[in-house]
Amino acid sequence: MKKALAFLMLGGIATLPAAALAEDASADADDGSAIVVKGQLVAATASAWSVTTLGTEEIREQALGQMDDYLRFVPGMAVRNLGMGGVANSIVIRGFGNGGHGGDLGAVIDGIPLNEAMSHADGYVDLNVVVPLELESLTVYRGPVSALYGNYNRGGLVRLDTRKGGDYLNADASMGSFGTGDLQMALGREWSGGTLNLTGQYFLSDGYRPQTDQERQTLSGRLGLDLSPGVTLALSGRYHHADAQNASYITAAQFETDPYGIDPAVQNDGARKHFGTARADLGIALSPSASLLGFAYGTRQDFTRWFSRPVSGAWRQREESYDRAIFGAGTSLNGTIAADWATEPIRYVVGVELFRERTDYMFYDGLDRRRRVSPALADRRTRLNSLSAFTEIQAPLHRLFDLSLGLRADRFTGGCAVRGPETGGDPCGRLRVIERLSPKIGLRSQLAEALQLRLGWAEGFALPNAFVKYATGGQPLDASVFRQTEIGVKLTPGEGLTLDAAAYRLTSSGEVRTVAPGIYENYGSTRNQGVEISAEWQATPRLWLRAVYGHTDTEVRKNGDPALIGNSVAGVPRDSANVDLRWQPIGGWELAGNWRYVGAYQVNAANSLQADPYDIVDLTLSHEGRAPFAYRAYVRVENVADTRYAASVSLIGGQTLFSPGAPRTVRAGIQITL
């Protein structure tokens, strides 16, 4: 594996001279004026993989409450909202049920990972550190298909790209039920030799349950400078603060009688977070068809959560806190090569990157309203280091043979050390060196003008979860491996109509099981398979429809507990759907309706408890005008039928617990463009 890693790095370095000298005036050259950390070979619409993209205007038009909500427009994706301000929700993708709150889904902003190595769970990610108004695009890659990103990429990847450059001034403001307010502002300016982009958000809400008020503020900015012809420097930063009170979950009996109440045993739960990051990007145009891009960044974050839940029949409050420091750096070569035997220039990216993440973790249980009354169960420091090399090639050799190739090599080191007295029994030692080589191959074939076929195979991985990776007993642990096979078809049978369908099978091997306390081994296997369908139809210039549907079937194939073999994966709805309909009857008026369906899912591994399905309808009436400035005013009614539903169901301490979804809410807002 070390040889493979070295070979990939050396191969990338060897490519530099040839690529730098390759010039073609007709090629899609990157002159260094727009820095993208790892490059982007091809638009998502021309990808050999199943990809969904929302642009700035689509994101702004929806005006949804938080970033997670935009994932409803991706076929097969669903969000199990935990109803806890300042705490990430659980996101479902390709048969994995613990994205966001766990490590099943990768997330990056401008190429930099947002996933947290040891914050509540490996790969935990809070998308609310991003402001919707700052985005140029939100792109979701379904499955472990991108070679540009490694760990946490097993179920898929959310790629967030911010606006860079442009002249604009946007302001979005809204107020609604339960004392909810949201103000977002974005500024973009260009001048000879530079660009400036600034974004800010202030959000607050009293919540629809007692003790659920929350507040968060986010500021982000980017300054781009043309240092000399072909050399560009960008400096950017982000600050996020969130403070929330939480009402935890309610029991089944409470859900039936008082779904928006609070259990009397719940203490003063909540969450508090500070997040700050600073980074520098450098772009150098080596030739009209090749650019060298580099980045370095640092992040500091503290996150504390207080949570009441049943333990051995009685409710107890726990505290978990994480203080993180991250440093990352990398470089990549991006470019095109003209070839007579290809229909278009061949695109490539090759690069290396390293990340160093340190987390100070403390865990207390049995608190008295946030007051610590017993010693820490855990007080430790973890380190996770990674060194990676990656390459992707997009080779449109023929309209029937548009080839995508990817290869990624990762090497992880690190360790865990106890900082002070603790009474917990989790393993804490040196991380065994883990190395993975992840290949990807995809083919896009334009069989006819209106018919496109996609075929793909990709491999991803997951490190052993949480402190298990630092276990010193038993056999040396390796990463779990995930392999995906996919076939997709895209139809454009008529003007204004696009249909896309994909069928996939994603299997795992080497899942980690517990042999005895502190002793683990790679053993388990799971199969996820399903169908994902999306449709867009511009029926008339004033009537537009977008619909997505996903069907997922999961099965445990190998497990240390024979009783679980054949069971479905917990937390994954079998079916999900979203339909968005927009109608402009006259002038600048628009009526929009959204129907969202989340199907039944198994709550626990034993499949002895199932969560009920639910569907929600939202309606929006808006008006656009241009005097004295461009504006869009709207009124949105969410959950029009005031449906009572559980946004998430859990089994904790032997009790079935519910996170009630929001009742009918009304929100009015205005969006201004100058």
CA 286 to centroid of chain Cα atoms: 33
- pLDDT, position 37: 54
Q: What is the mean pLDDT of residues 322-343?
A: 92
**Local confidence band at 32 (pLDDT 50, 70, 90 cut-offs):** very low
Half-sphere exposure of 177 (CA within 13 A, CB side): 12
- pLDDT, position 427: 79
- Could you report the per-residue pLDDT of 548-600, keeping only the tens digit for each? 999 999 999 999 899 999 999 999 999 999 999 999 999 899 999 999 999 99
Which one is predicted more confidently, 332 or 4?
Answer: 332
* Residue position matching structure tokens 């472990």: 144
Q: What is the mean pLDDT of residues 5-33?
A: 35
Checking if the pLDDT of 3 tops 90, the result is no
- Three-state SS for 406? strand
Which one is predicted more confidently, 15 or 110?
Answer: 110
Strand 646-652 relative to strand 655-660, pairing: antiparallel
Q: Which residues lie below 8 Å from residue 450, measured CB to CB, with a gap of 6+? A: 491, 492, 493
Q: What is the mean pLDDT of residues 329-357?
A: 91
**Local confidence band at 102 (pLDDT 50, 70, 90 cut-offs):** confident
Verdict on whether the full-model pTM lies above 0.85: yes
Checking if the pLDDT of 124 tops 80, the result is yes
Checking if the pLDDT of 15 tops 50, the result is no
**Local confidence band at 618 (pLDDT 50, 70, 90 cut-offs):** very high
CA-nearest of 194, 202, 145 to 171 is 202
Provide the token pair at 509.
Answer: 């091997």
Percentage of residues in the chain having pLDDT higher than 70: 93
Percentage of residues in the chain having pLDDT higher than 90: 79
First vs last C-alpha separation in the chain:
54
Provide the token pair at 626.
Answer: 């241009």
Checking if the pLDDT of 425 tops 80, the result is no
Provide the token pair at 267.
Answer: 């203490």
Provide the token pair at 131.
Answer: 């402001």
- pLDDT, position 246: 96
- Could you report the per-residue pLDDT of 598-612, keeping only the tens digit for each? 999 999 999 999 999
**Local confidence band at 16 (pLDDT 50, 70, 90 cut-offs):** very low
With b for 16 or more beta-carbon neighbours within 10 A and e for fewer, the 536-568 pattern comes to bbbeeeeebbbbbbbbbebbbebbeeeeeeebb
- pLDDT, position 149: 86
Checking if the pLDDT of 378 tops 80, the result is yes
- Three-state SS for 563? helix
Phi, psi of 57 (to 5 degrees): -70, -40
- Could you report the per-residue pLDDT of 105-119, keeping only the tens digit for each? 999 999 888 999 887
- What is the C-alpha to C-alpha distance for residues 646 and 255, in angstroms, rounded to an integer? 8
Would you list the domain boundaries of the chain?
Answer: 2-212+225-673
Checking if the pLDDT of 41 tops 60, the result is no
Q: What is the mean pLDDT of residues 489-512?
A: 94
Q: What is the 3-state secondary structure (H, E, C) of 435-474?
A: EEEEEEEEEEEEEECCEEEEEEEEEEEECCCHHHHHCCEE
- What is the C-alpha to C-alpha distance for residues 270 and 332, in angstroms, rounded to an integer? 41
- What is the C-alpha to C-alpha distance for residues 46 and 50, in angstroms, rounded to an integer? 10
- pLDDT, position 600: 97
Q: What is the mean pLDDT of residues 223-238?
A: 96
- pLDDT, position 342: 80
Which one is predicted more confidently, 506 or 14?
Answer: 506
Strand 156-162 relative to strand 106-109, pairing: parallel
Checking if the pLDDT of 24 tops 70, the result is no
To the nearest 10°, report the CA torsion of 33, 34, 37, 38.
Answer: -100
Strand 665-673 relative to strand 168-176, pairing: antiparallel
- What is the C-alpha to C-alpha distance for residues 262 and 560, in angstroms, rounded to an integer? 38
- pLDDT, position 4: 43
Query: Are 459 and 480 within 8 A, CB to CB?
Result: no
- What is the C-alpha to C-alpha distance for residues 121 and 123, in angstroms, rounded to an integer? 6
With b for 16 or more beta-carbon neighbours within 10 A and e for fewer, the 221-236 pattern comes to bbebebeeebebbbeb
**Local confidence band at 43 (pLDDT 50, 70, 90 cut-offs):** low
* Residue position matching structure tokens 């004033």: 542
- pLDDT, position 6: 41
- Could you report the per-residue pLDDT of 454-484, keeping only the tens digit for each? 999 999 999 998 888 888 766 688 999 999 9
CA dihedral sign of residues 395, 397, 398, 401: negative
**Local confidence band at 54 (pLDDT 50, 70, 90 cut-offs):** very high
**Local confidence band at 58 (pLDDT 50, 70, 90 cut-offs):** very high
Neighbours of 640 (CB within 10 A): 15
- pLDDT, position 213: 96
Query: The domain 2-212+225-673 belongs to what CATH superfamily?
Result: TonB-dependent receptor, beta-barrel domain (2.40.170.20)
**Local confidence band at 518 (pLDDT 50, 70, 90 cut-offs):** confident
CA of 543: how far to CAs of 154, 328, 386, 391, in Å?
Answer: 37, 47, 49, 42
**Local confidence band at 426 (pLDDT 50, 70, 90 cut-offs):** confident
Checking if the pLDDT of 309 tops 60, the result is yes
Which DSSP string corresponds to 596-627? Answer: EEE--EE-STT---EEPPEEEEEEEEEEEE-S
Worst-scoring range by mean pLDDT, 178-182, 250-254, 468-472, 539-543? 468-472
Phi, psi of 83 (to 5 degrees): 70, 25
Worst-scoring range by mean pLDDT, 40-49, 312-321, 494-503? 40-49
- pLDDT, position 5: 41
Query: Are 597 and 578 within 8 A, CB to CB?
Result: yes
Q: What is the mean pLDDT of residues 607-634?
A: 95
Q: What is the mean pLDDT of residues 634-657?
A: 96
Checking if the pLDDT of 21 tops 60, the result is no
Which DSSP string corresponds to 163-196? Answer: --S--EEEEEEEEEGGGEEEEEEEEEEEETTEEE
DSSP state of 121: B
DSSP state of 58: H
**Local confidence band at 40 (pLDDT 50, 70, 90 cut-offs):** low
Q: Where are the beta strands (DSSP E) in 73-122?
A: 78-80, 90-93, 96-100, 106-109, 112-113
* Beta bridge partners of residue 216, listed in sequence order: 203, 242
Provide the token pair at 383.
Answer: 């380190």
- pLDDT, position 11: 41
How much is the mean pLDDT over the chain?
90
